[in-house]
Structures are given as structure tokens and as C-alpha cells.
Amino acid sequence: MLLLLLGIIVLHVTVLVLLFISTIVSQWLVNGGHTADLWQNCTSGSVFHCLTSSTNEWLQSVQAMMILSIIFSVLSLFLFFCQLFTLTKGGRFYVTGVFQILAGLCVMCGAAIFTVRHTDWHQASENTSYGFAYILAWLAFPLALASGIIYVILRKRE
């Protein structure tokens, strides 16, 4: 049981790290020396120069979804530790699982909106590609859902 709990905690912390990195790092779109993320557009060359991202409603909704996913995941981890010590024997971690599933759904919505609408923000070209932070956001989605489902299925033992 201890090994199972350790594995679940490692999975949850991995999801949290992926969410933090994908939200913070400026690598959602890459085009040569130009990178863009949810917060700023940066150009590298002789001088590294960053400008604030646009105020499009869809971009603000992506920002909100990514922040909500982090909040739900942190809250889920906190609730897991609380329930670990207060839940009766045989009880399930429903609340923890629901918050983790919500975190997964939020990151999915944010990444999906970005996928559909990023051409409104930056014109598509041959050299434009998705950066590693975008890929990490999509990677966090199934991991968050999987850990949420594991929390719902998991029963507390003594």
C-alpha cells in the first residue's frame, strides 16, 4: 500500500510540474528566433526582446484554464493528504479525484482553444511549430485524468 501511495504522489507531482512548466515557459509557438506563449512574445537575436501578449478573449481564456488547472491540481494534492489522515477505513478519495479530473479537463480546454485559435494571433507559416510547453500541456492532460481516476477508485486501507 505504501508503494501505491508513493506512486500516486509521484504521478500527481509530475502532473503539477508539467502544468507549471507549460504555463510559465515561453515556448508554445516557435518560429525561428521568435517564441510566443500565453503571456509574452519574445524575439531573440542580438538582443532578446519580449512584448506582452495580445488581449484576445480566447488567449485570456487559455490563460484562465491553465491557471485553474494548476489551482485544482494543488488543491487536489492538499485534499489527498488531508483525506489520507482523516478518511475512515474503506473510504474513497472522491473529492481528491474530482478536483484532479477538473484539473485535467481545464488543461485540455486551454490547450484545445489554443490549438484552434492560435492562427488568429500569429499567422501560420512553414516555420511555425508548436513548442515544448504546448506539448507538455497536452501530456499533462491524460496524466491528470489518469491520476484523478486512480484517486476515485482508490480505497483507504489501514
CATH topology of domain 1-156: Butyryl-CoA Dehydrogenase, subunit A; domain 3 (1.20.140)
pLDDT top residue among 94 and 91: 94
Q: What residues contact residue 75 under an 8 Å CB cut-off, 6+ apart?
A: 99
Query: What is the per-residue pLDDT for 53?
Result: 67
Query: What is the per-residue pLDDT for 5?
Result: 83
pLDDT in tens, 113-132: 988 887 766 666 667 788 88
C-alpha–C-alpha distance, residues 59 and 87, integer Å: 40
- Which has the closest alpha carbon to 113: 31, 57, 54, 41? 57
Instruction: Flag whether pLDDT at 11 surpasses 90.
Output: yes
Instruction: Flag whether pLDDT at 63 surpasses 80.
Output: yes
